[in-house]
Structure 1
Amino acid sequence: MTSNNTSPLIPLPASTARVVTLTGAVLALAGTFLPWTWTSAFPGDLTVTGYPGGLQVLTLVGAVLTLLFTLSGWGSPRSSEAGSGGRIRGLAWLTPGGTNSPVRLAALGVFGVTGYAIGAISYELGGLVNLELGGWIAGGGALLAVIGALALPADQPHDDDTDAWGRFRNAFSAPDPARAKDLPAWAEILIITAAFGIGLWIFAYGIATEYSELFIGFVVLAAFGFAAVLRAGLLKRLSALTAKHRNVTLTAAFAAAICFPFTQTNDQFALIGANILIFATVALGLNVVVGLAGLLDLGYVAFLGVGAYAAALVSGSPQSTIGVHFPFWAAVLTGVAASLVFGVLIGAPTLRLRGDYLAIVTLGFGEIFRITVNSLNGTSGPDVTNGSNGIPNIPDLELFGFNFGLPHDVLGFQLTRPGNYYLLMLLFTAVVVMVFRRSAESRIGRAWVAIREDETAATAMGINGFRLKLLAFALGAGLAGLAGSVQAHVSYSITPEQYQFAGSVPPNSAFLLAAVILGGMGTISGPLIGAALLYLIPAKLQFMAEWQLLLFGIALMLLMRFRPEGLVADRRKQLEFHETGQTDVPDDATLPEGATGVAKAGA
């Protein structure tokens, strides 16, 4: 039997717990304006008084977020403090879903990034003796904030008989946010624009982190901060607004993405952004095959390689065995056409298989491609691909006299080579997003989803399963070839080792498939987010290359345990992986007029 039990993990009065949390957050914030160490040998120069730097900035941001969430829930009826003078109305909009679970997650984020900074200082400088007063104040404040946050009552009622793990899990869960009052259209558009502006700032800051300690702290705070915002119900509110203003959302997203190269002053960071878009575009193409049609393709990276090799052979490279130089549009179309043809040739004899058998065949195709291009070296076979040497010295693209390899001044900003290719790849990504969106919403897209859910039932309803699966396979291959044709010119050279099933450097088939699953199958933004994370983290943490696959496997297991539908889930996945209460009798408030008696009679 379920009771309205919201007992906290640490027994303290709710008002006292909130005061403790506020005090800890204020101390952590104040500690960032004091020195954390006496020497500038630690990256970020944490010796300055009155000016936070490096990891101190992350602690400052987390402390501010904790303060805002704590003040937002003060006096809320859901926080068991209804009699404390009323909720602070000016901040009530921050927590439409839950008032206390966001505080816990934000406090844990502050504690995580501050604790990591203290540990890194001790490890690199030789002990806690190198920690100054500011570090002790910030660390003590972060610990105090966590203790106070864990003493707050749970937002979600739980069973009296729930075990310790269940109580801990419920402490970080929150009910669905209440429906917000409609705002003026201009205000909703302003909120969407501000949200994408904040997202651009966070993404640009993460890429521009100059040393690994700062990036690890950024990842810790971003993970807990994202979870806190999610539990607060802000993302659901934002999703409702973006669904209402879809065209405005796409325009804002595209405008924010265009601004990215102008925020980077280092060519290396801008190049990471260009490669992320290449990886994300290929992942979105794989999402057509896996996410919509439900075909498990383990050799998808081979289509990226086919497009890259086809574009490289006609690029005018001195090492190209063909010796031709196609213009930009012709080279791109050559890469797309070659991948499309290979998709049809491979899919026609293999797509009559299902499940594990299809996965094994596609895995074999990926390995056959790599071995074949490695053998076409003039010794083991015809001299086409130069074997293991690949095709180097691929010239830069040129379109209407615009050379992508040269810097250009745009509105007072200088766009370097990585920025030029980033904007080009952004244009291609927009095309791929449009193709995916139109396909998913079309009659063919609905047929793909029907095949994914139950191919036998779909065939019984008159859907030609083989033809539609072949169409999905060919479309996904063509989109991969589009990205491959640009990748060949961005990287200057291509080799067979770049296109493996698994490896330490993406893109490869395993990472592409993981990007789709991590982000959310069948969605547009899911694979883009998943690909960005899976490319950015290895690129910034190269010192962990030996442990990368181990950490990658642990992350996938945790994801499957706590969020199997992915970071961005569609409604079908939410219904599949979570209890929805579809069999419960609806409340009177949710029924149309005159239907209350019928529902009660049915119950």
Structure 2
Amino acid sequence: MIPMTAKAPSRDATSLIPLPTNIARITTITGAALTILSTFLAWTWTTAFPGNLTVTGYPGGLQNITLTGGILTLLHALTAYRPRGLRWLTPAGTTAPTLLLTLGTLATTWYTLAAITTQLGGLAHLEPGAYLAALATLLTLTGALALPADRPYDDRGGTKPPTPWNRFRHTLTTGRPPRPKELPTWADILIIAAAYATGLYAFTYGIDTEYGELFVGYLILTCFTIAALGRAGLTTRLSHLTAKHRNIALAAAFIAAACFPLTQTNDTYTNLAASILIFATVALGLNVVVGLAGLLDLGYVAFLGVGAYAAALVSGSPESALGVHFPFWAAVLTGIGASLVFGVLIGAPTLRLRGDYLAIVTLGFGEIFRITMLNLNGTTGPDVTNGSMGIPNIPDLEILGFKFGETHDILGVPIGRFGNYYLLMLLATAVVVLVFRRAAESRIGRAWVAIREDETAATAMGINAFRLKLLAFALGAALAGLAGTVQAHVITTTTPDSYQFAGTVPPNSAFLLAAVILGGMGTISGPVIGAALLYLIPNKMEFMQDYQLLLFGLALVLLMRFRPEGMVADRRKQLEFHETDQLDVPERGLPDGAVGVTKAEA
């Protein structure tokens, strides 16, 4: 970032629209203020569009999304003047986050106006407030594009010609944030707590959206806001704090997640949150196999099914062929043990294969499990699983007198059945996170990473690759069995069709693998975020059900193009997929007569 006392770079080299810097900033601030004002005016005259955008003086529905974007844009635009109270918002630069927030607000606003026009049948349904919002967001974008970049554009090396696209990409880059001033421990803890509280509020708002249009607007602005916070350097500072106080950060994340049922008035969305936790836990188990050990498993959802069926058979269901009723701890051990045994039985003969061959074998195992569960129906095989009917009527849990099927009051807030199972699944997720973290930081975890990077080299260094790959396979299967045990009691039934390789409803092997890859292989938060998005988006965007797989594929292509390391990536993946400045040596920092090596020369 250029200091305020330094000479600003020329407009032609740093901005896309030739305007003086002060005029550009004033234009951006004015446009953001008008955008905020427009949300207090009516955007349409009819209540046929969801959200009631007909009220003047009180924003509603998608207007709240635009209002939030306008406020964030205004705050970041004001940081260019470096006011004392807002300096912490943009430690790495002001232009990039302002431009990203402007784009997010514009995209949300214009999506809303397009949805109103399309659903209601014409521009005649728009009120003056809608036109003001459209013009105000365009004015804000014009000013943001004219802002000088946080770093001067230099094309003298010839590697990046000064095309509009290259200049636009350069505008969205920032320098490294300055080293923050050391704060007292209590201040660090407060910042971490505030960050997780904000995340809880944002997640709660997203999961509580009542219609698809509102969720789409929320998703658009959230994506641009996260990108803006990253460009501003805030996420880097927060990651430093969480790394410095890792145990406190994990405890804060657990407490924030545990508070979610307290924000709900019914079980409609708590059920969705519990399913997300199940999906995320299974994704973390798959992350051991794929993210740490580098084993491509396309039939991993079968281990979830093994744990679910094992628990269903011993949990007292009237339709169970065994006719036994184990306590919960015994049912959990049964599900984990069954999945662990199947993981060893499948892994022992197949883990000597590599790459595509291993993927094909695991895909076959997943299909064999599903077909076997179908055939154990008493006609084509022994009567164990009731075939396609599955094992229904799995009774609710009761642990130490606490009945999960009944409503309980916690801090004066009624917690229903799915809220109880959500808290139970949260404990299971915490156990899986602890196991994953300990395994990744151990000697075995480092050996898994070595096998993932180069199995031949790891074997040459004395690592028993087969034994360690089998251990990863067994551990991943056991974690999936743990999640399957809880899932069987949450949905009260298990059927073979719930455990397929691909389908429109997760969890299935394809979506689990996508959650790990898109979220970030080898990390803890990456698969959790990826699983939450891949489960939440199909449930909220039912109006786009026919194009779900198409949109999923498009998002996959775009993310692999612009962020192949995943949404949350570790340092190793960032160095692997992106250029770094490690070889750049400033000449003024060299001894007399020494010559620096630039990235282009390297």
Normalised-by-shorter TM-score class: over 0.9
Name the residue aligned to 1:140: 135
Query: Paired residue for 1:16, among 16, 23, 27?
Result: 23
For 1:599 and 1:332, how far apart are their aligned partners in 2? 69
Displacement of 1:438 in angstroms is: 0.4
Name the residue aligned to 2:93: 98
Name the residue aligned to 1:72: 79
Aligned amino acid, residue 410 of structure 1: I
Query: Paired residue for 2:150, among 148, 155, 165?
Result: 155
Provide the secondary structure at the position in 1 that maps to 2:409: strand
| 1:310–1:335 contact (8 Å) kept in structure 2 | yes
For 1:290 and 1:166, how far apart are their aligned partners in 2? 35
Aligned amino acid, residue 533 of structure 1: L
Structure 2 residue 482 is the aligned partner of structure 1 residue 464? no
Displacement of 1:266 in angstroms is: 3.0
Provide the secondary structure at the position in 1 that maps to 2:118: helix
For 1:363 and 1:168, how far apart are their aligned partners in 2? 43
Name the residue aligned to 1:501: 501
Query: What are the within-5 Å matches in structure 2 for residues 250-289 of structure 1?
Result: 250-289=250-289
Displacement of 1:164 in angstroms is: 3.2
Between the two proteins, the alignment pairs up a number of residues equal to 583
Displacement of 1:4 in angstroms is: 7.1
Q: Deviations over 1:577-599 (max 9, x none)?
A: 0111333336777xxxxxx5399
For 1:462 and 1:233, how far apart are their aligned partners in 2? 42
Query: What are the within-5 Å matches in structure 2 for residues 86-125 of structure 1?
Result: 87-125=82-120
| 2:271–2:419 contact (8 Å) kept in structure 1 | yes
Displacement of 1:302 in angstroms is: 0.5
Q: Deviations over 1:378-423 (max 9, x none)?
A: 1111111111111111111111111111110111010001110000
Question: TM-score by structure 1 length?
Answer: 0.94
Q: Deviations over 1:421-449 (max 9, x none)?
A: 00000000000000000000001001000
Query: Paired residue for 1:49, among 45, 56, 60?
Result: 56
Name the residue aligned to 2:591: 597
Provide the secondary structure at the position in 2 that maps to 1:193: helix
Aligned amino acid, residue 118 of structure 1: L
For 2:221 and 2:365, how far apart are their aligned partners in 1? 41
Q: Deviations over 1:343-392 (max 9, x none)?
A: 00000000000111111111111111111111111111111111111111
| 1:585–1:599 contact (8 Å) kept in structure 2 | no
Aligned amino acid, residue 447 of structure 1: A
For 1:181 and 1:393, how far apart are their aligned partners in 2? 58
Task: Give the alignment's Cα RMSD to 1 decimal.
Answer: 1.6
Structure 2 residue 560 is the aligned partner of structure 1 residue 565? no
Name the residue aligned to 2:371: 371
Q: Deviations over 1:549-569 (max 9, x none)?
A: 111110010001000111111
Aligned amino acid, residue 133 of structure 1: P
Name the residue aligned to 1:306: 306
For 1:112 and 1:471, how far apart are their aligned partners in 2? 47
Displacement of 1:329 in angstroms is: 0.7
Aligned amino acid, residue 21 of structure 1: T
Structure 2 residue 36 is the aligned partner of structure 1 residue 29? yes
| 2:584–2:596 contact (8 Å) kept in structure 1 | no
Provide the secondary structure at the position in 1 that maps to 2:216: helix
For 2:404 and 2:588, how far apart are their aligned partners in 1? 62
Structure 2 residue 34 is the aligned partner of structure 1 residue 40? no
For 1:361 and 1:159, how far apart are their aligned partners in 2? 51
Name the residue aligned to 2:158: none
Aligned amino acid, residue 113 of structure 1: T
Query: Paired residue for 1:128, among 111, 116, 123?
Result: 123
| 2:308–2:484 contact (8 Å) kept in structure 1 | yes
For 1:11 and 1:492, how far apart are their aligned partners in 2? 64
Name the residue aligned to 2:4: none
Name the residue aligned to 2:195: 195
For 2:166 and 2:501, how far apart are their aligned partners in 1? 38
Provide the secondary structure at the position in 1 that maps to 2:53: coil
| 2:587–2:596 contact (8 Å) kept in structure 1 | no
Structure 2 residue 205 is the aligned partner of structure 1 residue 205? yes
For 2:451 and 2:511, how far apart are their aligned partners in 1? 25
Identity %, equivalent residues: 70
Aligned amino acid, residue 473 of structure 1: F
Name the residue aligned to 1:84: none
Q: Deviations over 1:266-288 (max 9, x none)?
A: 31111110000000000000000
Query: What are the within-5 Å matches in structure 2 for residues 322-341 of structure 1?
Result: 322-341=322-341
Name the residue aligned to 1:80: none
Name the residue aligned to 1:164: 164
Aligned amino acid, residue 166 of structure 1: N
| 2:332–2:485 contact (8 Å) kept in structure 1 | yes
Provide the secondary structure at the position in 2 that maps to 1:320: coil
Aligned amino acid, residue 31 of structure 1: S
| 1:316–1:325 contact (8 Å) kept in structure 2 | yes
For 2:472 and 2:525, how far apart are their aligned partners in 1? 19
Query: What are the within-5 Å matches in structure 2 for residues 163-562 of structure 1?
Result: 163-562=163-562
Displacement of 1:187 in angstroms is: 1.1
Q: 1:266 to 1:120 in 2, by over 3 A?
A: farther
Moved over 3 A (4+): 3-6, 156-160, 586-589, 596-603
For 1:587 and 1:295, how far apart are their aligned partners in 2? 45
For 1:472 and 1:327, how far apart are their aligned partners in 2? 28
| 1:298–1:509 contact (8 Å) kept in structure 2 | yes
For 1:326 and 1:419, how far apart are their aligned partners in 2? 23
Q: Deviations over 1:227-250 (max 9, x none)?
A: 111111100010011111111111
For 2:477 and 2:501, how far apart are their aligned partners in 1? 16
Displacement of 1:148 in angstroms is: 1.1
Aligned amino acid, residue 15 of structure 1: N
Moved more, 435-444 or 577-586: 577-586
For 1:380 and 1:252, how far apart are their aligned partners in 2? 52
Aligned amino acid, residue 268 of structure 2: Q
Displacement of 1:252 in angstroms is: 0.8
For 1:127 and 1:31, how far apart are their aligned partners in 2? 20
Provide the secondary structure at the position in 2 that maps to 1:414: strand
Provide the secondary structure at the position in 2 that maps to 1:344: helix
Displacement of 1:543 in angstroms is: 2.3
For 1:543 and 1:378, how far apart are their aligned partners in 2? 41
For 1:137 and 1:165, how far apart are their aligned partners in 2? 29
Displacement of 1:119 in angstroms is: 1.0
Name the residue aligned to 1:63: 70
For 2:383 and 2:592, how far apart are their aligned partners in 1? 77
| 2:16–2:164 contact (8 Å) kept in structure 1 | no
Displacement of 1:494 in angstroms is: 1.4
Provide the secondary structure at the position in 1 that maps to 2:414: strand
For 2:587 and 2:285, how far apart are their aligned partners in 1? 43
Provide the secondary structure at the position in 2 that maps to 1:409: strand
Provide the secondary structure at the position in 2 that maps to 1:382: coil
For 1:32 and 1:153, how far apart are their aligned partners in 2? 29
Gaps of 5+ in 1: 75-86, 590-595
Q: 1:500 to 1:29 in 2, by over 3 A?
A: same
For 1:115 and 1:555, how far apart are their aligned partners in 2? 21
For 1:312 and 1:285, how far apart are their aligned partners in 2? 21
Q: Deviations over 1:161-214 (max 9, x none)?
A: 243332222221212211111112111111110000000000000000011111
| 2:587–2:595 contact (8 Å) kept in structure 1 | no
Displacement of 1:158 in angstroms is: 3.5
